[in-house]
Amino acid sequence: MTRRVRLWILAVGGAGLAALLVAACLELPGFGGTSHPYGDRAVRASLARRTANTIASINFDQRAFDTLGEMSILFASVLGTVVLLRQTRDERRAKPEPAYVALPVRRYALIVLPVALLTGLYVIAHGQLSPGGGFQGGVVAATALHLLYLGADYRALERIRPVGLYEVGDALAASAYLVTGLAGLIGGAAFLANTLLPYGTFNTLSSGGTVPLLNAAIGMEVACAVVVLLARFLDQAVEIEQEGGT
Amino acid sequence: MSVLPYLVAVWIFLVGCYGIATSRNLIHAVGCLAVCQSATYVLLLAVGYRDGGTAPVFSDVKPGSRPVVDPVVQALALTDVVVGATVTALLLALVMQVSKRHGTVDPDELSELRG
C-alpha cells in the first residue's frame, strides 16, 4: 500500500469518525451544567466518611477496587519493562565513567534534592486532605532521587538506589494494599470496605479510616515502580553496550 | 458555545490519530498516542465542569458554601494519567528492542518478517 492510498483511507475514516463524534458531542449535556448526580453523591459520601479530599475518598474508598486494578496495571507494566529491557546475550555491561558536572548544576541539584524528596513525602502524607496523594507524591519522590544523576553522576545514583530493594518494595506495597483490603473481610465487611478504622476528626492527618493507609501503600508502590522503570531505561542508555560496538 | 470543550477533545483525538497514521518514527508514534490520550483528559474534565465550581477539596472550602466540580471524573482522569504513563513506558521499551533487533524505528521499513 503506497503512502497516498493510506492517506486517502485515513481521510475517509477520519472524516467518518469526526462526523460521529461531533454528532455525539451535540447530544451531550451542556458544558458547565448543574446536573452532576454522581458527583453530588460522591461529595456527600466523602463528607460522611470525614475525608476532606473527595478525589482521595473516591480513589481509595468508594472506588478502591478499581484502584487495585489500576495498581495491577502499573505493576504489570513495570514487570513487562524489566523483561523487555534486560541484558541480552550479545550485550555487555560497561562501568559508567565519572562525568564532569558544571558547579552551579551540582550545587542546585544537591540543594533541591532533599526539598523535592520532602515535598513528595508531604504530598503522599496529605493525600486525604489536600490535592495530591499516593500517585502524584510517589512520582515526585522517585524523580527527586534522580536529581543525584544530574548533580553528581550515575555511580552516585547507583549507590543510593539498589534496584533490587526497590523491586521488593514495589511488591511489598502492592501486597500491603491487598492485605488492607482483606482486613475488611476479617472485620466482617466487604473486600476493601472502609469500615474497619474510626473515621477520625475531619481535616486532620488521621481522618478517613483506611484512606491514608491505602494512600501510603500506593505512594510507596508508585515511587518504587518509577525508580525501577527509570533504572531500566538509564541502564540501557549508560551501562549496556552492544558486543563489539558502541 | 456550550459544546466547544467537547469539540476541542474531538479535535485533539483526531490530530493524534493523524500523527500515528503518518508517523515515520516509532518514538514519534508513541508521542502521538499520548496526544490521543490527552483528548480523553480534556473530555473527562469538560464533562465534570460546573459553572463557578471550585476543586472538590474541603480542607479550606466550607462544605456547601460553593459549587464544586464533579469529583468522579477527576478521579477517572487520574486513573487515565497513570495508565497513560505506564503504556508509554512499555511502548518505549518495545521501541528500544525493535531498534536493537532491526536497526530502524521507521514503521515502513519494518514490514519484512524475521525469525
Every domain of chain B and the residues it spans: 4-108
Average confidence score pLDDT of chain A:
89
Cell of B104: 530502524
User: Which band of pLDDT confidence, cut at 50, 70 and 90, is reported for residue B80?
Assistant: very high
Q: Which of residues 65-124 of A touch B (CB under 8 A)?
A: 66-67, 70, 73-74, 77-78, 80-81, 84-85, 88
User: Which band of pLDDT confidence, cut at 50, 70 and 90, is reported for residue B64?
Assistant: confident
Cell of B40: 480523553
Round to whole Å and give the CA distance between A214 and A59: 9
Mutate to test the interface with B, among A3, A8, A22, A25 (most CBs of B within 10 A): A25
Classify residue A4: in a domain, yes or no. Answer: no
Q: What is the mean pLDDT of residues A1-14?
A: 89
Mean pLDDT check: name the lowest of A46-55, A88-97, B11-20, B32-41.
A88-97
Q: What is the mean pLDDT of residues A195-218?
A: 87
Q: Count the domains in chain A.
A: 1
Round to whole Å and give the CA distance between A148 and A166: 17
Please give the ipTM for the structure prediction.
0.87
Residue of chain A minimizing CA distance to B51: A32
Contact at CB, B69 and A6, closer than 8 angstroms: no
pLDDT of residue B115: 53
Q: Does A14 touch chain B (CB under 8 A)?
A: yes
Contact at CB, B14 and A85, closer than 8 angstroms: no
Find, among B1, B36, B30, the residue nearest to B16 by Cα: B36
Assigned fold of B4-108: Helix Hairpins (1.10.287)
Flag whether pLDDT at A244 surpasses 60. Answer: no
Classify residue A71: in a domain, yes or no. Answer: yes
Mean pLDDT check: name the lowest of A14-28, A115-129, A212-226, B57-71.
B57-71
State how far residue A111 is from chain B, nearest Cα, in angstroms: 28
Closest residue to A42, CB basis, from B5, B17, B71: B71
User: Which band of pLDDT confidence, cut at 50, 70 and 90, is reported for residue A83?
Assistant: very high
Under 8 Å between Cβ of A55 and B75: yes
Domain span at residue A149 reads: 36-242
Looking at beta carbons, which residues of chain B come within 8 Å of A52?
A: 57-59
User: Which band of pLDDT confidence, cut at 50, 70 and 90, is reported for residue A246?
Assistant: very low
Flag whether pLDDT at A245 surpasses 60. Answer: no
- DSSP category for residue A60: I
Flag whether pLDDT at B15 surpasses 90. Answer: yes
- Paired with B54 in beta bridges are B68
Looking at beta carbons, which residues of chain A come within 8 Å of B56?
A: 39, 43, 53-55
pLDDT of residue B17: 93
Looking at beta carbons, which residues of chain A come within 8 Å of B50?
A: 32-34, 36, 39
Closest residue to B78, CB basis, from A21, A26, A59: A59
Flag whether pLDDT at A169 surpasses 70. Answer: yes
- Paired with B57 in beta bridges are A53
**Residues of chain A with pLDDT > 70: what percent?**
98
State how far residue A205 is from chain B, nearest Cα, in angstroms: 11
Round to whole Å and give the CA distance between A200 and A131: 19
Enumerate residues 6+ apart whose C-beta is below 8 A from B99.
B26, B105
Measured in Å, how far apart are chain A's first and last C-alpha atoms?
Answer: 36
Classify residue A223: in a domain, yes or no. Answer: yes
Flag whether pLDDT at B113 surpasses 70. Answer: no
User: Which band of pLDDT confidence, cut at 50, 70 and 90, is reported for residue A150?
Assistant: confident
Enumerate residues 6+ apart whose C-beta is below 8 A from A16.
none
pLDDT of residue A209: 86
Enumerate residues 6+ apart whose C-beta is below 8 A from A233.
A85, B92, B93
Classify residue A154: in a domain, yes or no. Answer: yes
Looking at beta carbons, which residues of chain B come within 8 Å of A137?
A: none
